[in-house]
Amino acid sequence: MNQKSTSVTKSSLTIARTIAYYASFIVLGCVASSLGPTLQGLADHTGTLLSEISFVFLARSSGYLLGSILAGRVYDRLPGHWVMGGVLLLMALSAALAPVISILWLLAGALLLLGTAEGMLDVGAHTLLVWNHGAKVGPYMNGLHFFFGVGAFLSPIIAGWSVDLSGDIHWTYWIPAMAALPVGLWLLSLSSPGGREAPGDAGRPAVNVTLLALIVAFFAFYVGAEISFGSWIFTYATKSGALTEKSAYVLNSIFWGALTLGRLISIPIAAKLKPRSILIADLAGCLSGLIIILLFPGSSAAIWMGTVWVGFSMASCFPTMVSFAERRMTITGAVTSWFFAGASIGGMTLPWLIGQLFDSVGPRGMMTAVLIDLLLGSGVLASVILMSRRLGLEAD
């Protein structure tokens, strides 16, 4: 009876931890996608042009890179829930400050802190979820990405509601900031899973440095495209004259909604198809959606159709590439940190570059830049597949 009671308690704790990680990712998704629909508002607050305000992408992504690098060591040394709880409190503080700052360099500082918190939370949730579920983590990992999409879907809706209600963007940041507080306190109240619960690496090949570098490059190109599209589609739609501001808020939300739906659908698909096949189909879908928008500039129908298709096609790229890599090398904390470092570099550079293009080239430069970025990512994926075959690692 004692044994049974202990088993039930452990199972309840595992479920509670998982729910807490999912709740933290709703907050993360909401915060992460808040910059796009509020970019013009932040520019107005600081009296800057779009080319100048796009500097905040560099600040935030630099913070994310720093947080990702720090996270691997911190989670190995301290109870994970202490770290995640503290990070969520830091996220709440920096998000609350962002919309009330009127000086660009101070705003960049707040977003640097926000990015650091995002990077540490992202790595922590992925790591602790694996430690919590061990070898059975697969469907729970897909669920984690799904709940990120839920938060990202809600953010533009909150932004539109905030502007309608108060005439400003403040509540776009304040609502997720308030949501982060109870989630952080909840995590602090739960015992942390230990690294010993992570699945072993028996049977997996050692890490090939060149192959790892290529996979990291893929993450940089893919995440650069996802963040750029999600962050700039609102501005593209309004500046190109295709949509009104109110419709653009809905479009931005629809992008994240399509990405969220795609992640939900990808859970059973991932059990039947090879990761390589899914990635090829995903990239083909992204490219075709971008081409639809570029072929019909100013068309509201084209931008709606292309945005939905790009969001749906991007949905499973990140988790599928993690699965793809896992079959070809031993996934350690250090390797995972490199994945997120690559992701943060992509999220840092392309959105900033697009900000420069908007003032000098116009809205069309944004779609062209994302298209070129994904073409380069497709070339990197082809190189990874060819190298895997040459090394005898074509496991899927």
Region for residue 331 given its phi and psi (left: phi exceeds 0; alpha: psi -120 to 50; beta: otherwise)? beta
Task: Tell me the pTM.
Answer: 0.75
5 pLDDT tier (thresholds 50, 70, 90)? very low
1 pLDDT tier (thresholds 50, 70, 90)? very low
Picking from 335, 294, 342, 288, the residue whose alpha carbon sits closest to that of residue 310 is 288
389 pLDDT tier (thresholds 50, 70, 90)? confident
Environment class of 347 (CB within 10 Å of its CB; exposed 0-12, middle 13-18, buried 19+): buried
295 pLDDT tier (thresholds 50, 70, 90)? very high
Q: List, for residues 316-370, the tens digit of each pLDDT value.
A: 888 888 778 877 776 666 677 788 888 888 988 898 888 888 777 888 889 999 9
Domain boundaries, the chain: 14-200, 203-396
Picking from 205, 235, 221, the residue whose alpha carbon sits closest to that of residue 387 is 205
- pLDDT in the model for residue 332: 64
Picking from 339, 283, 292, the residue whose alpha carbon sits closest to that of residue 312 is 283
State the Cα–Cα distance between residues 234 and 38, nearest whole angstrom.
9
Question: Can you spell out the DSSP letters for 182-249?
Answer: HHHHHHHHSPPPPGGGSPP-TTPPPPPHHHHHHHHHHHHHHHHHHHHHHHHHHHHHHHTTSS-HHHHH
- pLDDT in the model for residue 96: 94
6 pLDDT tier (thresholds 50, 70, 90)? low
- pLDDT in the model for residue 330: 67
State the Cα–Cα distance between residues 291 and 45, nearest whole angstrom.
34
Token pair in block for residue 392: 């005898």
Q: Return the higher-pLDDT residue of 308 and 132.
A: 308
Task: Give me the architecture of the 203-396 domain, per CATH.
Answer: Up-down Bundle (1.20)
- pLDDT in the model for residue 195: 59
Q: Where are the alpha helices (DSSP H) in the chain?
A: 2-32, 35-46, 50-53, 55-77, 80-97, 104-133, 138-166, 170-189, 209-239, 245-270, 275-295, 300-314, 317-326, 333-360, 364-390
Decide if 14-200 and 203-396 have a common fold: yes
State the Cα–Cα distance between residues 271 and 277, nearest whole angstrom.
12
Q: Return the higher-pLDDT residue of 117 and 157.
A: 117
Cα 264 to Cα 100, 164, 213, 268, distances in angstroms: 36, 31, 29, 8
State the Cα–Cα distance between residues 338 and 41, nearest whole angstrom.
34
Picking from 17, 29, 35, the residue whose alpha carbon sits closest to that of residue 354 is 35
Token pair in block for residue 62: 């630099």
Look up the CATH superfamily of 14-200. Answer: MFS general substrate transporter like domains (1.20.1250.20)
Q: List, for residues 251-265, the tens digit of each pLDDT value.
A: 988 998 898 888 888
Q: List, for residues 194-210, the tens digit of each pLDDT value.
A: 754 444 445 555 678 88
